[in-house]
Amino acid sequence: MNLDSKDVKENNLNENTDSKEYSVSSKSKLRSGKTLTITMPSVSLGRILKSRQFRFLYIAILIIVLSLASGFVGAYIENNNNNIGVIGASLSNQKKIVTSQSQLISQIAKTVGPSVVSVNVTINTNSTGSNPLSGFGLFGYSSPGVEQAAGTGIIISSNGIIMTNRHVVPVGTTSVSVTLSNGVELKNVSILGRTSPSDSLDIAFLKINNLQGQKLTPAVIGNSSDVAIGDSVVAIGNALGQFHNTVTSGIISGFGRNVQASSSAGSGSLNPFSTASGTTENLTDLFQTDAAINEGNSGGPLVNMNGQVIGINTAIAGNAQNIGFAIPINDVTGLISQVLKTGKFSLPYLGVRYIPITANVANQYNLGVINGAYIPPSTNPTQPSIVPGSPAAKAGLQINDIIMAVDGVAVNQSNSLTGLLYQHQPGQIVKLSVLRNGKTITVQVTLGGQPSTN
């Protein structure tokens, strides 16, 4: 039976206002012409709302809604509590790290401090050519012809041998004394030797001749080849010439730095960016550090987190923030061995003038390599690139040779040719890896020696 919706008419809509019941009847004409009457049953809303089934359904919906709401609130609270816990734990861990690092630095200062001395010098400035009227501020005082100055030194033997910078005890030094970490001053100190002013290694050795019953603690020498950029370091020294064993900390900011530094005699500091009158030094293969190195710190130790000396504080940038330079300790180990064994030293001598290769140098000379030591043609007849009669000349080194390695250790920004040679002693035979005309050959050289100056 089909109904035509167009024919469906609402006939009656009766409302029982008391019981809220509705009755609907509809009449529709069938296709046959007959009319079908449909009567809708009465519906009571009040009865439905009061029915047991509706109450059960209402309670079930209410329980579900409350459960969902409580779950959401609980999850929100728990999530926020977890975040608070993570933040609290993070801050706690950071505090532990900071506390641990400060305790480590404190322990390093206690361990290394007894191996550090203040070096006090009197200088005849008339013999050094420096300005006799230049003052040293907190370093002490000056008068025409005489200056008092101070630097730092490192004890390397229990019998009183001390390592420092050459510019701390320059030519013209008339007297030297050292002050130990316990405040005791020892005045009978002599200069065993120092490198020449033209040498890129700014090193001198002292000897305490009378210990006066004092027991000395030698510093522990480390390995500067293991140092990497970003490594934490501690610098210890006689800051400003009067604050003994001042401790600062920082990191290694760079290595293989080459600078030209100048200083007044005995200032205990070199400034790579100074134009002041005084001595001028060309320094190579230096560490750069942001550990504060102040005037008077020259000659003091730069140590790693194991309390080992990996550098010798040498120069500062006076017009910059925390830019200091230190000599890698490996550049000095050969000299230390000589001094400890014989009480004097002689620098190993090769007899070449070279240019450390960088990317710019490689491009300028069209070298094809970015590391090594290049022996260029000399532009000055009085300064040949290979000194006649030198160990280099005897071994057959040639112009345009590139020295790539010394005894298998690569020459690069971390290891200069001079630094690698200074790890040896005069008379020793070293094997040089040399790049010549695109081929690598091995050249054996017997190193000569240059005596130190007193």
Rounded mean pLDDT, 90-116: 78
167 is a catalytic site residue? yes
Query: Confidence class of residue 321 from pLDDT cuts 50, 70 and 90?
Result: confident
298 is a catalytic site residue? yes
Chain mean pLDDT for the chain = 79
What is d(CA 318, CA 295) in angstroms, rounded to the nearest whole number?
A: 9
pLDDT recorded at residue 125: 73
pLDDT recorded at residue 326: 94
Q: Which of 199, 202, 285, 401 is catalytic?
A: 202
Determine how β-strand 9-16 pairs with β-strand 21-29: antiparallel
The CATH class that applies to domain 345-451 reads mainly beta
Q: Which of 323, 346, 326 is nearest to 334 (CA)?
A: 346
- Each residue of 246-261: pLDDT tens digit? 899 999 998 888 787 6
- Each residue of 169-205: pLDDT tens digit? 988 899 999 999 999 999 999 999 999 887 888 999 9
- Each residue of 261-320: pLDDT tens digit? 665 444 455 555 443 445 567 788 899 999 888 888 889 999 999 999 999 999 887 666
pLDDT recorded at residue 54: 60
Give 53: exposed, middle or buried? Use CB within 10 Å, 0-12, 13-18, 19+. Answer: exposed
Query: Confidence class of residue 131 from pLDDT cuts 50, 70 and 90?
Result: very low
CB 136 within 8 A of CB 148: yes
Rounded mean pLDDT, 207-212: 96
pLDDT recorded at residue 265: 44
> What is the percent of the chain with per-residue pLDDT over 70, rounded to a whole number?
68
Rounded mean pLDDT, 317-332: 84
Q: According to CATH, what is the number of the domain 91-343?
A: 2.40.10.120
CB within 8 Å of 188: residues ≥ 6 apart: 208, 209, 210
Secondary structure in 3-state letters for the chain = CCCCHHHCEEEEEEEECCCCEEEEEEEEECCCCCEEEEECCCCCHHHHHCCHHHHHHHHHHHHHHHHHHHHHHHHHHHHHHHHHHHHHHHHHHHHHHHHHHHHHHHHHHHHHHHHEEEEEEEEEHHHCCCCCCCCCHHHCCEECCEEEEEEEEEECCCCCEEEECHHHCCCCEEEEEEECCCCCEECCEEEEEECCCCCCCCCEEEEECCCCCCCCCCCCECCHHHCCCCCEEEEEEEECCCEEEEEEEEEEEEEEEEEEEEECCCCCCEECCCCCCCEEEEEEEEEEECCCCCCCCCCCEEECCCCCEEEEEEEECCCCCCCEEEEEHHHCHHHHHHHHHHCCCEEEECCECCEECCHHHHHHHCCCCCCCEECCCCCCCCCCCECCCCHHHHHCCCCCCEEEEECCEECCCCCCHHHHHCCCCCCCEEEEEEEECCEEEEEEEECEEEECEC
Q: Which of 130, 167, 262, 331 is catalytic?
A: 167
Query: Confidence class of residue 367 from pLDDT cuts 50, 70 and 90?
Result: very high
Give 1: exposed, middle or buried? Use CB within 10 Å, 0-12, 13-18, 19+. Answer: exposed
Query: Confidence class of residue 11 from pLDDT cuts 50, 70 and 90?
Result: very low
Residue 109 has pLDDT above 70, yes or no: yes
pTM of the model: 0.71
Residue 2 has pLDDT above 50, yes or no: no
Q: Which of 298, 385, 414, 416 is catalytic?
A: 298
Residue 453 has pLDDT above 80, yes or no: no
Residue 152 has pLDDT above 90, yes or no: yes
The tokens for 62 are 């209410």
CB 129 within 8 A of CB 248: no
7 is a catalytic site residue? no
pLDDT recorded at residue 79: 55
pLDDT recorded at residue 179: 94
Question: Which has more pLDDT, 1 or 422?
Answer: 422
CB 429 within 8 A of CB 395: no
